[in-house]
Structure 1
Amino acid sequence: MNQDQPIERGTRNEHEMLTGAERLSVEDLRRALEQRDQALALSRQNLQMAERVIDASQEGIIITDPSGVIEYVNPAFCQVTGYSAEEAIGRTPALLSSGRHDAVFYRQMWHELDTHGYWRGEIWNRRKGGALYLERLTITAIGDDDGKVTHYAALFTDITLIRENEERVRRLAYYDPLTRLPNRRLLEDRLALAIRHAHRQQQGLAVIFIDLDHFKQVNDTLGHAVGDELLLQVAERLQERLREDDTLARLGGDEFLALLPELHDVEEVTRVARRLIEAIGQPFAVGDHSFRVGCSLGISLYPADGTSADALVRSADTAMYRAKREGRNTYRLFRAEMNDHDSRLLALESALRDTVESGEGLAVHYQPLVNRDSGEVEGAEALVRWHHPAFGDVSPGVFVPMAERSGLIIPLGRWVMEEVAGQLRQWRQAGLNPPRVAINLSASQFWQRDLVEQIRRLFARFALPPGQIGFELTESVLLDRQQEAVAVLEALRELGCRLAIDDFGTGYSSLSYLQDLPLTTLKVDRRFVQRLTGDEGERRGSAAIVAAVTGLAQELGLRVVAEGVETEAQLEALSRYPVTLIQGYLTGRPVDAETFAECYLQQG
Structure 2
Amino acid sequence: MLALIASVIICAPFQLHVGRRPGFPLVGVAIVMLAIQSVEASPYLDVSIWAIGLLVSQLFARRSLLQAMYLTGLGSTSAFAFVAVKSTLLDLGVWLLPTFLLATTAYYLVFLLGELVRQRGRTTTDERSGVGALSLPKLGGVVLIVSVLATILTLVDASVIPWLERDPLADLTPFVILLAASLMYILAQRRRYLGNEARMSAVVDAAVELPRHTGDELAEGLRERTRAIVQASDVEFRDRPPGKKEIGVPITLGSGPAQYLVASRGPGQATFAREDERAVAALAHVASEAARIQTEVDLLERRANSDALTGLPNYGAFQKALIDANENRPYREGIALLFIDLDNFKKLNDNFGHRAGDELLRAVADRLQGAAGGGDFVSRVGGDEFVVILTDLLSLEQAKETSDRIIEAVSQPLALEGHDMRPVLSAGLAFSNHRELDAQTLVEDADRTMLQAKRSRRQGASSSGASSVSISSHRSSRTNEIVARAIRDNRLMLAFQPIVNITDGRVWAHEALVRYVDPELGPISPPSLVARAKSLGMMNELTKQIITKALDAAEEFHRLAPAIRCMTVNLELGQISDSELGPFLRESARAHPDLTLCIELNERSLRSVTDELRRDALLLQKAGVSIALDDYGSDDSSVGALVHFPMNILKIDKSLIDDLDDLRQREVVKSLQGFGDNLSYTTVVEGIESAAMVDIMIELGVRNAQGYYFGRPISRAQSSERLRRWGDQASIGG
TM over 0.5: no
Larger Rg: 1
TM-score normalised to the size of structure 2? 0.36
TM-score normalised to the size of structure 1? 0.43
